Amino acid sequence: MRIDGKVVLITGASEGIGAACAREFAASGAKLSLIARNEEGLRQAGGPDALVTAGDLTSDEARRRAVDRTLERYGRIDILINNAGVGIYQPSWEMPLEEARYLMELNFFAPLAMTQLVAPHMRAQHSGAIVNVGSIGGKVVLPWMTLYSVTKAALNALTEGQRMELMGSGVRTMIVCPGYVQTGFQKNVRAGHTPEQVQKARRWAISPETCAEAIRRGVERDARTVVTPRSGWLLVLAMRLFPSIVEGRMAKINGTA
Catalytic residues: 148
Cβ atoms of 77 and 71 closer than 8 Å: yes
* In 54-131, alpha helices (H): 60-74, 97-104, 110-125
d(CA 57, CA 201): 30
Per-residue DSSP letter, 226:
E
Cβ atoms of 213 and 228 closer than 8 Å: no
Cβ atoms of 34 and 50 closer than 8 Å: yes
d(CA 143, CA 83): 22
- How far is the CA of 129 from the CAs of 36, 100, 179, in angstroms? 20, 29, 22
